[in-house]
Structure 1
Amino acid sequence: MDILSIIGVILGFAALIGGNFIEGGTLQSLINGPAALIVIGGTVGAALLQTPWSQLRRALEVFPWVFKPPANMFQDGLSRVVRWSVAARKEGLLGLETIAETEKDPFARKGLQLLVDGSEPESIRRVMETELVIQEQRDLDSVRFYESMGGYSPTIGIIGAVMGLIHVMRNLADPNELGPGIAIAFVATIYGVAFANLFLLPVANKLKMCVHEQAQYREMIIEGIIAIAEGENPRSIEMKLNGYLP
Protein backbone atom coordinates (compact mmCIF):
# COMPACT_ATOMS: atom_id res chain seq x y z
CA MET A 1 0.00 0.00 0.00
CA ASP A 2 1.33 3.41 -1.00
CA ILE A 3 0.86 5.44 2.18
CA LEU A 4 1.87 8.69 0.43
CA SER A 5 -1.09 8.46 -1.94
CA ILE A 6 -3.50 7.99 0.95
CA ILE A 7 -1.93 10.86 2.90
CA GLY A 8 -2.02 13.07 -0.21
CA VAL A 9 -5.75 12.56 -0.81
CA ILE A 10 -6.64 13.05 2.85
CA LEU A 11 -4.38 16.09 3.28
CA GLY A 12 -5.61 17.78 0.10
CA PHE A 13 -9.31 17.56 0.93
CA ALA A 14 -8.69 18.19 4.64
CA ALA A 15 -6.89 21.44 3.75
CA LEU A 16 -9.83 22.50 1.59
CA ILE A 17 -12.43 21.75 4.26
CA GLY A 18 -10.24 23.11 7.07
CA GLY A 19 -9.67 26.38 5.23
CA ASN A 20 -13.42 26.69 4.78
CA PHE A 21 -13.96 26.32 8.54
CA ILE A 22 -11.20 28.84 9.36
CA GLU A 23 -12.91 31.41 7.13
CA GLY A 24 -16.13 30.89 9.06
CA GLY A 25 -17.82 28.53 6.63
CA THR A 26 -19.64 25.32 7.47
CA LEU A 27 -19.52 21.86 6.00
CA GLN A 28 -23.12 22.29 4.90
CA SER A 29 -22.09 25.23 2.69
CA LEU A 30 -19.85 22.86 0.67
CA ILE A 31 -22.45 20.14 0.20
CA ASN A 32 -24.63 20.49 -2.86
CA GLY A 33 -26.11 17.42 -4.55
CA PRO A 34 -27.05 18.98 -7.91
CA ALA A 35 -23.59 20.56 -8.24
CA ALA A 36 -21.93 17.21 -7.53
CA LEU A 37 -24.18 15.50 -10.07
CA ILE A 38 -23.38 18.09 -12.75
CA VAL A 39 -19.61 18.01 -12.19
CA ILE A 40 -19.08 14.28 -11.67
CA GLY A 41 -21.67 13.12 -14.19
CA GLY A 42 -20.62 15.64 -16.84
CA THR A 43 -16.91 14.92 -16.38
CA VAL A 44 -17.29 11.14 -16.56
CA GLY A 45 -19.67 11.43 -19.52
CA ALA A 46 -17.27 13.62 -21.51
CA ALA A 47 -14.35 11.27 -20.78
CA LEU A 48 -16.38 8.20 -21.78
CA LEU A 49 -17.34 9.88 -25.06
CA GLN A 50 -13.68 10.07 -26.13
CA THR A 51 -12.50 6.72 -24.73
CA PRO A 52 -12.70 3.37 -26.58
CA TRP A 53 -13.87 0.40 -24.51
CA SER A 54 -10.45 -1.29 -24.55
CA GLN A 55 -8.76 1.81 -23.09
CA LEU A 56 -11.49 2.24 -20.47
CA ARG A 57 -11.11 -1.36 -19.35
CA ARG A 58 -7.34 -0.94 -19.03
CA ALA A 59 -7.80 2.38 -17.19
CA LEU A 60 -9.96 0.63 -14.61
CA GLU A 61 -7.42 -2.19 -14.32
CA VAL A 62 -4.49 0.14 -13.58
CA PHE A 63 -6.36 2.48 -11.21
CA PRO A 64 -5.45 0.40 -8.10
CA TRP A 65 -1.78 1.19 -8.85
CA VAL A 66 -2.42 4.65 -7.36
CA PHE A 67 -2.76 3.17 -3.87
CA LYS A 68 -1.03 -0.17 -4.41
CA PRO A 69 1.67 0.19 -7.11
CA PRO A 70 3.10 -2.95 -8.76
CA ALA A 71 5.73 -4.54 -6.55
CA ASN A 72 9.30 -3.42 -7.16
CA MET A 73 10.40 -6.28 -9.39
CA PHE A 74 13.86 -5.05 -10.38
CA GLN A 75 15.86 -7.04 -7.82
CA ASP A 76 13.85 -10.21 -8.42
CA GLY A 77 14.08 -9.74 -12.19
CA LEU A 78 17.85 -9.25 -12.04
CA SER A 79 18.22 -12.44 -9.96
CA ARG A 80 16.13 -14.40 -12.44
CA VAL A 81 18.17 -13.15 -15.39
CA VAL A 82 21.40 -14.21 -13.64
CA ARG A 83 19.92 -17.66 -12.98
CA TRP A 84 18.96 -17.95 -16.63
CA SER A 85 22.49 -17.02 -17.70
CA VAL A 86 23.98 -19.63 -15.34
CA ALA A 87 21.61 -22.28 -16.73
CA ALA A 88 22.50 -21.29 -20.31
CA ARG A 89 26.23 -21.59 -19.51
CA LYS A 90 25.84 -25.06 -18.01
CA GLU A 91 23.24 -26.61 -20.29
CA GLY A 92 23.23 -24.39 -23.38
CA LEU A 93 20.30 -22.31 -24.62
CA LEU A 94 18.12 -25.40 -24.94
CA GLY A 95 18.43 -25.78 -21.18
CA LEU A 96 16.22 -22.70 -20.85
CA GLU A 97 13.25 -24.47 -22.41
CA THR A 98 11.98 -25.85 -19.09
CA ILE A 99 12.50 -22.46 -17.43
CA ALA A 100 10.56 -20.74 -20.21
CA GLU A 101 7.60 -23.08 -19.75
CA THR A 102 7.32 -22.24 -16.04
CA GLU A 103 8.05 -18.48 -16.32
CA LYS A 104 5.02 -16.49 -15.09
CA ASP A 105 5.89 -13.15 -16.73
CA PRO A 106 4.58 -13.31 -20.35
CA PHE A 107 7.14 -10.74 -21.51
CA ALA A 108 10.11 -12.62 -20.07
CA ARG A 109 8.68 -15.94 -21.29
CA LYS A 110 8.58 -14.66 -24.86
CA GLY A 111 12.23 -13.61 -24.62
CA LEU A 112 13.25 -17.00 -23.25
CA GLN A 113 11.35 -18.77 -26.02
CA LEU A 114 13.16 -16.67 -28.61
CA LEU A 115 16.46 -17.69 -26.97
CA VAL A 116 15.52 -21.36 -27.05
CA ASP A 117 14.52 -21.07 -30.71
CA GLY A 118 18.04 -19.81 -31.49
CA SER A 119 17.01 -16.35 -32.71
CA GLU A 120 19.76 -13.81 -33.36
CA PRO A 121 20.29 -11.13 -30.69
CA GLU A 122 19.17 -8.30 -32.96
CA SER A 123 16.04 -10.23 -33.92
CA ILE A 124 15.25 -10.81 -30.24
CA ARG A 125 15.76 -7.12 -29.50
CA ARG A 126 13.45 -6.01 -32.32
CA VAL A 127 10.65 -8.35 -31.27
CA MET A 128 10.83 -7.51 -27.58
CA GLU A 129 11.29 -3.76 -28.01
CA THR A 130 8.27 -3.67 -30.31
CA GLU A 131 6.15 -5.37 -27.65
CA LEU A 132 7.56 -3.05 -24.97
CA VAL A 133 6.67 0.09 -26.95
CA ILE A 134 3.17 -1.15 -27.80
CA GLN A 135 2.39 -2.13 -24.20
CA GLU A 136 3.73 1.14 -22.83
CA GLN A 137 1.68 3.14 -25.32
CA ARG A 138 -1.47 1.20 -24.48
CA ASP A 139 -0.99 1.88 -20.79
CA LEU A 140 -0.31 5.59 -21.39
CA ASP A 141 -3.42 5.81 -23.58
CA SER A 142 -5.49 4.31 -20.76
CA VAL A 143 -4.04 6.82 -18.27
CA ARG A 144 -5.29 9.64 -20.50
CA PHE A 145 -8.81 8.72 -19.35
CA TYR A 146 -8.04 10.27 -15.96
CA GLU A 147 -6.00 13.07 -17.49
CA SER A 148 -8.88 14.04 -19.76
CA MET A 149 -11.31 14.07 -16.82
CA GLY A 150 -8.90 16.41 -15.04
CA GLY A 151 -9.17 18.75 -18.03
CA TYR A 152 -12.95 18.61 -18.35
CA SER A 153 -13.82 18.86 -14.64
CA PRO A 154 -13.08 22.60 -14.09
CA THR A 155 -15.02 23.55 -17.21
CA ILE A 156 -18.00 21.44 -16.19
CA GLY A 157 -17.79 23.14 -12.79
CA ILE A 158 -18.10 26.54 -14.46
CA ILE A 159 -21.12 25.30 -16.40
CA GLY A 160 -22.68 24.19 -13.12
CA ALA A 161 -21.99 27.60 -11.60
CA VAL A 162 -23.62 29.39 -14.53
CA MET A 163 -26.67 27.13 -14.28
CA GLY A 164 -26.91 27.98 -10.59
CA LEU A 165 -26.66 31.70 -11.33
CA ILE A 166 -29.49 31.38 -13.83
CA HIS A 167 -31.72 30.13 -11.03
CA VAL A 168 -30.46 32.91 -8.74
CA MET A 169 -31.44 35.54 -11.31
CA ARG A 170 -35.03 34.38 -11.03
CA ASN A 171 -35.02 35.52 -7.40
CA LEU A 172 -33.78 39.08 -7.96
CA ALA A 173 -36.96 40.38 -6.40
CA ASP A 174 -36.03 38.71 -3.10
CA PRO A 175 -32.66 40.11 -1.87
CA ASN A 176 -32.57 37.60 1.01
CA GLU A 177 -32.22 34.75 -1.47
CA LEU A 178 -29.43 36.29 -3.54
CA GLY A 179 -26.46 35.77 -1.20
CA PRO A 180 -27.10 32.10 -0.35
CA GLY A 181 -28.06 31.38 -3.95
CA ILE A 182 -24.84 32.80 -5.38
CA ALA A 183 -22.78 30.91 -2.78
CA ILE A 184 -24.44 27.64 -3.71
CA ALA A 185 -23.92 28.34 -7.41
CA PHE A 186 -20.18 28.67 -6.98
CA VAL A 187 -19.95 25.36 -5.12
CA ALA A 188 -19.99 23.69 -8.54
CA THR A 189 -16.83 25.59 -9.49
CA ILE A 190 -15.15 24.41 -6.29
CA TYR A 191 -16.15 20.82 -7.05
CA GLY A 192 -14.81 21.01 -10.59
CA VAL A 193 -11.45 22.58 -9.73
CA ALA A 194 -10.92 20.47 -6.59
CA PHE A 195 -11.90 17.21 -8.31
CA ALA A 196 -9.38 17.91 -11.07
CA ASN A 197 -6.43 19.23 -9.07
CA LEU A 198 -6.73 17.24 -5.85
CA PHE A 199 -7.59 13.89 -7.40
CA LEU A 200 -7.81 13.34 -11.16
CA LEU A 201 -4.58 14.98 -12.36
CA PRO A 202 -2.48 13.55 -9.48
CA VAL A 203 -3.94 10.11 -10.23
CA ALA A 204 -2.95 10.43 -13.90
CA ASN A 205 0.59 11.52 -13.03
CA LYS A 206 1.00 8.70 -10.50
CA LEU A 207 -0.12 6.13 -13.05
CA LYS A 208 2.29 7.55 -15.63
CA MET A 209 5.17 6.99 -13.20
CA CYS A 210 4.03 3.40 -12.66
CA VAL A 211 3.87 2.80 -16.43
CA HIS A 212 7.36 4.29 -16.84
CA GLU A 213 8.71 2.00 -14.11
CA GLN A 214 7.13 -1.04 -15.79
CA ALA A 215 8.78 -0.05 -19.07
CA GLN A 216 12.18 0.26 -17.36
CA TYR A 217 11.76 -3.21 -15.88
CA ARG A 218 11.04 -4.66 -19.32
CA GLU A 219 14.09 -2.84 -20.72
CA MET A 220 16.18 -4.59 -18.08
CA ILE A 221 14.76 -7.97 -19.07
CA ILE A 222 15.55 -7.23 -22.74
CA GLU A 223 19.15 -6.29 -21.98
CA GLY A 224 19.58 -9.40 -19.85
CA ILE A 225 18.22 -11.75 -22.50
CA ILE A 226 20.33 -10.12 -25.22
CA ALA A 227 23.41 -10.51 -23.02
CA ILE A 228 22.62 -14.22 -22.59
CA ALA A 229 22.16 -14.59 -26.35
CA GLU A 230 25.57 -12.98 -26.90
CA GLY A 231 27.21 -15.38 -24.46
CA GLU A 232 28.22 -12.94 -21.73
CA ASN A 233 29.14 -14.48 -18.39
CA PRO A 234 26.67 -14.24 -15.48
CA ARG A 235 28.84 -11.91 -13.41
CA SER A 236 29.17 -9.44 -16.28
CA ILE A 237 25.42 -9.53 -16.87
CA GLU A 238 24.71 -8.86 -13.19
CA MET A 239 27.03 -5.86 -13.13
CA LYS A 240 25.47 -4.46 -16.31
CA LEU A 241 21.90 -4.76 -15.00
CA ASN A 242 22.70 -3.33 -11.57
CA GLY A 243 22.27 0.13 -13.11
CA TYR A 244 18.51 -0.52 -13.42
CA LEU A 245 18.04 -1.02 -9.68
CA PRO A 246 16.25 1.92 -8.01
Structure 2
Amino acid sequence: MDIASILGVIFCACIVIFGIIFGQENLLETLNHFYDPSSILITFGGSFMCVLTMSPDLRGFLNNIRSFSLILKVLPSTEEETIHTIIDLSNIARKEGLLALEEAANGIDDEFLKKGVLLIVDGTDPELVRSILETELNCIESRHSSTVGFWDSLAAMGPAWGMIGTLIGLINLLYEMDDPRAIGPNMAVALVTTFYGSVLANWISIPVATKLRANNTKEIMIKEVMVEGLLSIQAGENPRVIEEKLKSFLSPARRTAMKEEGGENVG
Protein backbone atom coordinates (compact mmCIF):
# COMPACT_ATOMS: atom_id res chain seq x y z
CA MET A 1 0.00 0.00 0.00
CA ASP A 2 1.14 3.54 -0.74
CA ILE A 3 1.34 5.04 2.76
CA ALA A 4 1.91 8.57 1.41
CA SER A 5 -1.39 8.60 -0.51
CA ILE A 6 -3.33 7.06 2.37
CA LEU A 7 -1.95 9.54 4.91
CA GLY A 8 -2.49 12.44 2.53
CA VAL A 9 -6.18 11.64 2.00
CA ILE A 10 -6.80 11.03 5.71
CA PHE A 11 -4.92 14.08 6.98
CA CYS A 12 -6.60 16.38 4.44
CA ALA A 13 -9.96 15.31 5.82
CA CYS A 14 -8.74 15.73 9.40
CA ILE A 15 -7.42 19.24 8.71
CA VAL A 16 -10.72 20.35 7.16
CA ILE A 17 -12.76 18.91 10.04
CA PHE A 18 -10.41 20.48 12.58
CA GLY A 19 -10.75 23.84 10.85
CA ILE A 20 -14.54 23.54 11.01
CA ILE A 21 -14.84 22.61 14.69
CA PHE A 22 -11.90 24.57 16.12
CA GLY A 23 -13.13 26.98 18.75
CA GLN A 24 -16.73 25.82 18.49
CA GLU A 25 -18.65 24.72 21.56
CA ASN A 26 -21.23 22.42 19.96
CA LEU A 27 -19.16 20.24 17.66
CA LEU A 28 -21.95 18.09 16.21
CA GLU A 29 -24.12 21.09 15.45
CA THR A 30 -21.20 22.84 13.80
CA LEU A 31 -20.48 19.82 11.61
CA ASN A 32 -24.17 19.62 10.77
CA HIS A 33 -23.96 23.13 9.31
CA PHE A 34 -21.80 21.68 6.54
CA TYR A 35 -24.22 18.89 5.70
CA ASP A 36 -26.84 19.70 3.11
CA PRO A 37 -28.30 16.87 0.96
CA SER A 38 -29.43 19.10 -1.89
CA SER A 39 -26.00 20.72 -2.13
CA ILE A 40 -24.35 17.29 -2.17
CA LEU A 41 -26.71 16.14 -4.91
CA ILE A 42 -26.10 19.23 -7.05
CA THR A 43 -22.32 19.32 -6.65
CA PHE A 44 -21.33 15.66 -6.64
CA GLY A 45 -24.25 14.40 -8.72
CA GLY A 46 -23.89 17.12 -11.34
CA SER A 47 -20.10 16.71 -11.56
CA PHE A 48 -20.17 12.95 -11.98
CA MET A 49 -23.06 13.04 -14.45
CA CYS A 50 -21.23 15.61 -16.56
CA VAL A 51 -18.16 13.39 -16.65
CA LEU A 52 -20.40 10.44 -17.49
CA THR A 53 -21.64 12.42 -20.49
CA MET A 54 -18.01 12.90 -21.58
CA SER A 55 -17.18 9.20 -21.17
CA PRO A 56 -17.27 6.90 -24.21
CA ASP A 57 -19.43 4.35 -22.36
CA LEU A 58 -20.75 3.42 -18.92
CA ARG A 59 -18.20 0.67 -18.42
CA GLY A 60 -15.32 3.05 -19.02
CA PHE A 61 -16.86 5.55 -16.60
CA LEU A 62 -17.13 2.92 -13.84
CA ASN A 63 -13.59 1.70 -14.50
CA ASN A 64 -12.30 5.24 -14.19
CA ILE A 65 -14.03 5.67 -10.84
CA ARG A 66 -12.45 2.42 -9.63
CA SER A 67 -9.06 3.74 -10.71
CA PHE A 68 -9.04 5.72 -7.44
CA SER A 69 -7.71 2.56 -5.80
CA LEU A 70 -4.59 2.75 -7.99
CA ILE A 71 -3.19 5.65 -5.98
CA LEU A 72 -3.22 3.40 -2.91
CA LYS A 73 -0.99 0.80 -4.57
CA VAL A 74 2.78 0.81 -4.92
CA LEU A 75 4.22 -0.11 -8.32
CA PRO A 76 5.42 -3.74 -8.24
CA SER A 77 9.00 -2.85 -9.20
CA THR A 78 11.46 0.02 -9.39
CA GLU A 79 14.03 0.95 -12.01
CA GLU A 80 16.79 -0.54 -9.83
CA GLU A 81 14.96 -3.86 -9.44
CA THR A 82 14.29 -3.94 -13.17
CA ILE A 83 17.98 -3.36 -13.93
CA HIS A 84 18.92 -6.23 -11.61
CA THR A 85 16.44 -8.49 -13.41
CA ILE A 86 17.81 -7.50 -16.82
CA ILE A 87 21.39 -8.17 -15.69
CA ASP A 88 20.37 -11.59 -14.37
CA LEU A 89 18.82 -12.37 -17.75
CA SER A 90 21.90 -11.10 -19.60
CA ASN A 91 24.15 -13.35 -17.50
CA ILE A 92 21.96 -16.35 -18.36
CA ALA A 93 22.03 -15.45 -22.07
CA ARG A 94 25.79 -14.96 -21.99
CA LYS A 95 26.51 -18.30 -20.32
CA GLU A 96 23.79 -20.52 -21.80
CA GLY A 97 22.54 -18.71 -24.89
CA LEU A 98 19.33 -16.88 -25.75
CA LEU A 99 17.25 -20.07 -25.81
CA ALA A 100 17.92 -20.55 -22.10
CA LEU A 101 15.88 -17.39 -21.45
CA GLU A 102 12.68 -19.27 -22.30
CA GLU A 103 12.88 -21.18 -19.03
CA ALA A 104 13.83 -18.00 -17.14
CA ALA A 105 10.74 -16.30 -18.58
CA ASN A 106 8.52 -18.66 -16.58
CA GLY A 107 9.64 -16.94 -13.38
CA ILE A 108 8.90 -13.41 -14.63
CA ASP A 109 5.72 -11.82 -13.25
CA ASP A 110 5.74 -8.70 -15.43
CA GLU A 111 3.83 -9.58 -18.62
CA PHE A 112 5.53 -6.83 -20.64
CA LEU A 113 9.02 -8.10 -19.78
CA LYS A 114 7.97 -11.71 -20.28
CA LYS A 115 6.60 -10.87 -23.72
CA GLY A 116 9.86 -9.17 -24.68
CA VAL A 117 11.96 -12.13 -23.49
CA LEU A 118 9.88 -14.59 -25.52
CA LEU A 119 10.17 -12.39 -28.60
CA ILE A 120 13.96 -12.43 -28.52
CA VAL A 121 13.97 -16.18 -27.74
CA ASP A 122 11.91 -16.70 -30.91
CA GLY A 123 14.60 -14.90 -32.89
CA THR A 124 12.41 -11.93 -33.82
CA ASP A 125 14.23 -9.16 -35.68
CA PRO A 126 15.48 -6.50 -33.20
CA GLU A 127 13.70 -3.66 -35.00
CA LEU A 128 10.46 -5.62 -34.93
CA VAL A 129 10.95 -6.36 -31.21
CA ARG A 130 11.40 -2.64 -30.55
CA SER A 131 8.38 -1.77 -32.69
CA ILE A 132 6.12 -4.30 -30.92
CA LEU A 133 7.18 -3.24 -27.43
CA GLU A 134 7.00 0.49 -28.19
CA THR A 135 3.51 0.03 -29.69
CA GLU A 136 2.42 -1.63 -26.46
CA LEU A 137 4.03 1.20 -24.48
CA ASN A 138 2.05 3.75 -26.49
CA CYS A 139 -1.17 1.84 -25.84
CA ILE A 140 -0.45 1.67 -22.11
CA GLU A 141 0.25 5.40 -22.00
CA SER A 142 -2.93 6.12 -23.96
CA ARG A 143 -5.04 4.15 -21.47
CA HIS A 144 -3.37 5.92 -18.57
CA SER A 145 -3.95 9.31 -20.19
CA SER A 146 -7.65 8.51 -20.55
CA THR A 147 -7.90 7.68 -16.85
CA VAL A 148 -5.99 10.81 -15.82
CA GLY A 149 -8.25 12.84 -18.11
CA PHE A 150 -11.29 11.53 -16.24
CA TRP A 151 -10.00 12.94 -12.94
CA ASP A 152 -8.91 16.18 -14.60
CA SER A 153 -12.45 16.59 -15.95
CA LEU A 154 -13.94 15.85 -12.55
CA ALA A 155 -11.63 18.44 -10.99
CA ALA A 156 -12.95 21.02 -13.46
CA MET A 157 -16.59 20.07 -12.96
CA GLY A 158 -16.52 20.19 -9.12
CA PRO A 159 -16.09 23.96 -8.68
CA ALA A 160 -18.36 24.63 -11.69
CA TRP A 161 -21.25 22.66 -10.21
CA GLY A 162 -20.49 24.13 -6.81
CA MET A 163 -21.06 27.56 -8.38
CA ILE A 164 -24.30 26.34 -9.96
CA GLY A 165 -25.49 25.27 -6.52
CA THR A 166 -24.47 28.63 -5.13
CA LEU A 167 -26.47 30.44 -7.79
CA ILE A 168 -29.51 28.29 -7.02
CA GLY A 169 -29.17 29.16 -3.34
CA LEU A 170 -28.81 32.87 -4.08
CA ILE A 171 -31.87 32.87 -6.33
CA ASN A 172 -33.92 31.25 -3.55
CA LEU A 173 -32.47 33.79 -1.15
CA LEU A 174 -33.54 36.75 -3.29
CA TYR A 175 -37.08 35.41 -3.54
CA GLU A 176 -37.28 35.28 0.27
CA MET A 177 -35.70 38.64 1.08
CA ASP A 178 -38.92 39.69 2.83
CA ASP A 179 -38.27 37.02 5.49
CA PRO A 180 -35.09 37.97 7.41
CA ARG A 181 -35.00 34.55 9.09
CA ALA A 182 -34.58 32.81 5.72
CA ILE A 183 -31.60 34.90 4.60
CA GLY A 184 -29.02 33.21 6.85
CA PRO A 185 -29.95 29.57 6.08
CA ASN A 186 -30.25 30.21 2.34
CA MET A 187 -26.91 32.00 2.24
CA ALA A 188 -25.31 29.11 4.13
CA VAL A 189 -26.70 26.59 1.65
CA ALA A 190 -25.50 28.75 -1.23
CA LEU A 191 -21.95 28.83 0.14
CA VAL A 192 -21.75 25.19 1.21
CA THR A 193 -22.17 24.05 -2.42
CA THR A 194 -19.05 26.02 -3.35
CA PHE A 195 -17.34 24.33 -0.41
CA TYR A 196 -18.32 20.89 -1.73
CA GLY A 197 -17.07 21.76 -5.21
CA SER A 198 -13.69 22.88 -3.88
CA VAL A 199 -13.40 19.75 -1.74
CA LEU A 200 -14.20 17.48 -4.69
CA ALA A 201 -11.60 19.19 -6.85
CA ASN A 202 -8.78 19.83 -4.39
CA TRP A 203 -9.10 16.96 -1.93
CA ILE A 204 -9.89 14.16 -4.38
CA SER A 205 -9.71 14.86 -8.11
CA ILE A 206 -6.54 16.93 -8.54
CA PRO A 207 -4.42 14.80 -6.14
CA VAL A 208 -5.64 11.57 -7.79
CA ALA A 209 -4.92 12.89 -11.30
CA THR A 210 -1.46 14.11 -10.26
CA LYS A 211 -0.58 10.81 -8.56
CA LEU A 212 -1.79 8.74 -11.52
CA ARG A 213 0.22 10.95 -13.88
CA ALA A 214 3.34 10.43 -11.74
CA ASN A 215 2.74 6.67 -11.60
CA ASN A 216 2.35 6.60 -15.37
CA THR A 217 5.67 8.40 -15.85
CA LYS A 218 7.41 5.95 -13.53
CA GLU A 219 5.84 2.87 -15.10
CA ILE A 220 6.72 3.99 -18.63
CA MET A 221 10.29 4.66 -17.49
CA ILE A 222 10.56 1.16 -16.04
CA LYS A 223 9.27 -0.38 -19.26
CA GLU A 224 11.68 1.71 -21.33
CA VAL A 225 14.48 0.23 -19.20
CA MET A 226 13.12 -3.21 -20.08
CA VAL A 227 13.06 -2.44 -23.81
CA GLU A 228 16.63 -1.16 -23.88
CA GLY A 229 17.84 -4.02 -21.72
CA LEU A 230 16.19 -6.72 -23.81
CA LEU A 231 17.51 -5.28 -27.07
CA SER A 232 20.99 -5.11 -25.56
CA ILE A 233 20.74 -8.76 -24.51
CA GLN A 234 19.60 -9.70 -28.01
CA ALA A 235 22.56 -7.80 -29.47
CA GLY A 236 24.91 -9.88 -27.29
CA GLU A 237 26.31 -6.95 -25.33
CA ASN A 238 28.41 -7.55 -22.23
CA PRO A 239 26.31 -7.55 -19.01
CA ARG A 240 28.55 -4.86 -17.51
CA VAL A 241 27.98 -2.64 -20.53
CA ILE A 242 24.24 -3.27 -20.32
CA GLU A 243 24.22 -2.31 -16.65
CA GLU A 244 26.04 0.95 -17.27
CA LYS A 245 23.69 1.75 -20.15
CA LEU A 246 20.58 1.12 -18.05
CA LYS A 247 21.93 3.16 -15.15
CA SER A 248 21.63 6.17 -17.46
CA PHE A 249 17.91 6.11 -16.63
CA LEU A 250 18.73 6.80 -12.97
CA SER A 251 19.68 10.04 -11.29
CA PRO A 252 23.33 10.31 -10.11
CA ALA A 253 22.24 9.87 -6.49
CA ARG A 254 20.33 6.68 -7.30
CA ARG A 255 23.25 5.32 -9.33
CA THR A 256 25.53 5.84 -6.35
CA ALA A 257 23.03 4.25 -3.96
CA MET A 258 22.63 1.28 -6.29
CA LYS A 259 26.39 0.79 -6.42
CA GLU A 260 26.72 1.01 -2.64
CA GLU A 261 23.97 -1.57 -2.21
CA GLY A 262 25.84 -4.01 -4.41
CA GLY A 263 24.02 -3.11 -7.60
CA GLU A 264 26.77 -4.36 -9.85
CA ASN A 265 25.33 -7.84 -10.25
CA VAL A 266 27.43 -8.83 -13.23
CA GLY A 267 28.70 -12.33 -13.75
Q: What is the TM-score when the length of structure 2 is the normalising length?
A: 0.84
Partner amino acid, structure 1, of 2:177: L
Q: What secondary structure sits across from 2:33 in the alignment? A: helix
CA distance in 1, matches of 2:213, 2:247: 23
Alignment of 1:66-215 (within 5 A): 66-215=71-220
Kindly provide the CA deviation profile for residues 148-188 of structure 1, in whole angstroms up to 9, marking residues without a partner as x: 10001101011111122232233222111112211122100
Higher mean alpha-carbon deviation, 225-234 vs 104-113, is at 104-113
CA contact (8 A) 1:56 1:142 kept: no
Of the three residues 40, 45, 50, the one matched with 1:41 is 45
1:49 Cα deviation from its structure 2 partner = 1.2
CA distance in 2, matches of 1:60, 1:21: 31
CA contact (8 A) 1:55 1:142 kept: no
Distance 1:57 1:108, change over 3 A: farther
CA distance in 2, matches of 1:150, 1:114: 42
- The unaligned stretches of length 5 or more in structure 2 are 255-267
Q: What secondary structure sits across from 2:105 in the alignment? A: helix
- 1:32 paired to 2:36: yes
1:34 Cα deviation from its structure 2 partner = 1.0
1:127 Cα deviation from its structure 2 partner = 1.5
Kindly provide the CA deviation profile for residues 7-31 of structure 1, in whole angstroms up to 9, marking residues without a partner as x: 3223333333333345869222211
Q: What is the TM-score when the length of structure 1 is the normalising length?
A: 0.90
CA distance in 1, matches of 2:217, 2:67: 13
Distance 1:187 1:61, change over 3 A: closer
